[in-house]
Each structure stands twice: as structure tokens, then as C-alpha cells.
Structure 1
Amino acid sequence: MSLLKQVILLIAVLVVTVCLQPINSTAHILSQTADTSAVEVRLPSEQQLDTYSQQNAFDYSQEAVANESFISKVLRWLFSWFGDIMQNPTAAIIFEIAAYLIFISLLILLIQQYFKGNLADMMTKNKVHNGLPATKEAGPLVFDELNALINKAIEQNRYRDAICHLYRRSLKQLAEAGHITWKKDKTNRDYLYELSTENMRSLFQDITRYYEYAEYGHFPFDQELFGTVHQRFKQLHKLISDQN
């Protein structure tokens, strides 16, 4: 597991631990022994009550809202009902646990999507249409056409375009050799997990990263760097040929 994924898992564990702290605190409060000490009740005199009743600050009377709409009545009833439920300690804990379970479930779902590569692909729109990545030239091409595009891009020093065409050719080679299955809306990460050998997965992961840099990251490739990248494509091509 990569360092980045280990850090994400550690953050997830810390978040879950922090979220569960209020639940533990509430349970601790409920488990405490009730206070049975005597309570001294002090009542104000009639004169004090009359004095206070004349002050606006102690006027607690509520006037009915005129022409209250049906929606307002429903909302007021819901808020009142929810408030009554939350006054019950057991119900409050149930609602609290439910809220945290929903949050944890969403967090786990996001982590799973990241590990599968779908989250990163959605963020970069790295979708594969008709079995080919969304490069500038749409539609599947035969090997001769792809080879011509690759050679032309290299001759014109358009190394980013050359990497995109090399990647499309690699996908076609893998599919025709039976290592992957083309399918509409599959991601490049989906193809990665279809590969059966570690060496092939490692090479495909490398060329996928270079392709994403070239197609979506607009990373500048010079002749020297392209030579290194091109060598990885050649290694994958040789590995595919050797296993057939």
C-alpha cells in the first residue's frame, strides 16, 4: 500500500475516533448516579411577583400568529416534535449514532472509490469511450493508423500527442491479446485491475500516469523525457508479445 493511501486511512481512523467521542461522553453522563440531595425551594413574595409582572422582560405571553400558513404549521409541529424527542436521552443517543453512521459510511465509500481509482477518474474526467481514452482523435483506429500518428507526432516533436497515441495503441494491444476487455465507460483504472500479472500491472500503471500527465495535466515533455516514457511503452509491448 502506498504512503498516500496509508495517510488517508490514518486520517479516516482519526475522524471516526473523534466523531465517536460525543457518544461516549453522553453515555458517561447517563451512567452517573442521580443527585438525591434535598432541594431548598424559595418562592418570591406576592409583592415581588407583582413588580416583576409589570416589566416587559418578564412578559412570557405568546400571541397566536395570525394567518399562519399550512407549511409553517407543519414545520412548527416538526420542530416541536423533534425537540420533544431530543429531550429523551435515549432518543438523542440513537439520533447521534445514526448521524455518525451515515457520515462514516460516506467516508468509507469515498475511500473505497479512491482506492479503486474511480474518484480520481471522475475528478479528471478520465473516462474511456468505446474502449479508447478520450484523446483528440475520436473513435477507434487500426494499428497502422495509430503507428502513423505516433511517428508523425514524434517527427514534429509533439511528444504529448505521441504519448496519447501510444497509450491508445497499448490498450488495443492488451485487448486483442485478451488481457483486458473493452467496454464503454470503463476507466483506465478498471483496465489496470483486469491485468493478471504484477509486471504488466506495473508497466500499465506507469504508462497510464504518463498518459494522464500528457492528456489532462498538460505536462511538458521534452525529447529526453519522452525517450524514457517511450521505453516503458516498448517494455509493455514486448511483455504482451512474449506472453502470447
Structure 2
Amino acid sequence: MKQLVSTYLILVCAGAFLFSLLPLQVYAQHADSISVLPADSSKVYVRTIDDVAHHSIASDDAFSYTEAKDPETLWSRIKRWLFSFLFNAFENDWLRLFFKITFFLIFGLVLLALINQLLGGNIKNAFSNTRASQAVNLGNNSQSIEKLNLDKLLEEALSRNSYSDAVRLLYLKALEELNAHELINWKADKTNHDYIQELRSHPACPLFSRLTNIYEYVEYGDFNVERKNYDSIRKIYEEFRHKTGHV
């Protein structure tokens, strides 16, 4: 029994060895068969393209396989010019200085506008030494304008030839009348231009806007008012009252 098993194992190993040699033998035979193939003796004909036909085909758009470029628009030309200008600008010392100054100017104006907004549109008051006359100082009480006897104060200002105070009082009388007839809502924290916005749809708005400008020139601009100036301003005030129907 052991002898049969040994014989069987020997036969299997011998078969496996012979089988492994088979691909090498086949490859060698295949290589031998290739090496003995006869050389190609067929004649080679070289064909050329006619120059006229070549030019005709090359100039035909149907045979053009290059990607067509989009036509350059006006906006793309502007962008290209702008990028080129900015690139060249930063190469120039003077232009760099110009852009730097422009930037700081714009920054300063924006900052000034923000401060003006925080001060309720009265930034010039903060930097002016001019103060309202005590005779027309309303204080912070929202009822002050109603408590003042403006007609009496106006007479006193005219009697002492204080025409600047008289102009201020005319403007306060205009505000008092608008508030009394509910054309504006007077409050101590509002600006004069807030009242213009409230009155913008009323026919008297242009005249009130003129009175506002005059008042601000006198109050904050050191504008010297003489009698003839006051008389002209008084006419504007009377015309304003006529427009509001309070004559």
C-alpha cells in the first residue's frame, strides 16, 4: 500500500513538472515559426494630396475643429482696461500717492457723515462757538415752544435792534404755528430738516425751507442781520403764513 502511494506521488510530481515546461516549449515553437516568416515583398505606393485640394479643405470652416472664441464685449474691454490701469498705477509712485490721498479723503468724509448722523444733523453746531441767544433758548423741554411768549420776545428784540434774535424768533413762530395746526410734530430732539421732510407735500414747504436756511445762517454762521435784511425775511415769513392759511 505504501509502495502504491509513493508511486502515485512520484507520477503526480513528474506530471506537474512536465506541464510547467509546456508553455516554454509552445513559446519557443511560436518564436521559431515567427522567425521563419518570409519578408514582405509588396510594393509601397506613397500617395500625396494635391495642393489645391489641401488649400480648399484647410480653408473650409466645416473642417475647422478649433474652438470659436466669444466676441469681446464692451464690458470685458472696460474690465481689461481697468485691470491694466490699476496694475500700472501701482507701479507709479505719484499715482500710488494719489490713490492713498483719495482713500483717506473718502474715509474722512464717511466718518464725518457718521458723526453728523450721530449728532442729529447738527455737526456744525458742535464745532461752532456761536450759541443761540438766551432769549430764544428752548432748552430740552418738549413743551418749551408752547410756553414761550414769542410775540412779546419779538417786540423786545426789535426794540433793542437785535435783528438776529428777531429772525430766530420768526422761525420759532413758524415752527409754533406748524405744530399748533398739526402740520409737524415738534420735538426737542428733532432737527430742522426733519420738519422739512414732514412738510414736504405741503405747498408751504419751499418757503419753510428758505426760512430754515436763513435761520441756520443767522444761528450758526455769524450772519449779521440789519433792518433791511429783517424786513426782507419778514416778507418771506408772511408769505409762508399765507401759504399755510394762517393769515
TM class by shorter-chain length? 0.3 to 0.5
TM-score calculated relative to the size of structure 2: 0.47
TM-score calculated relative to the size of structure 1: 0.47
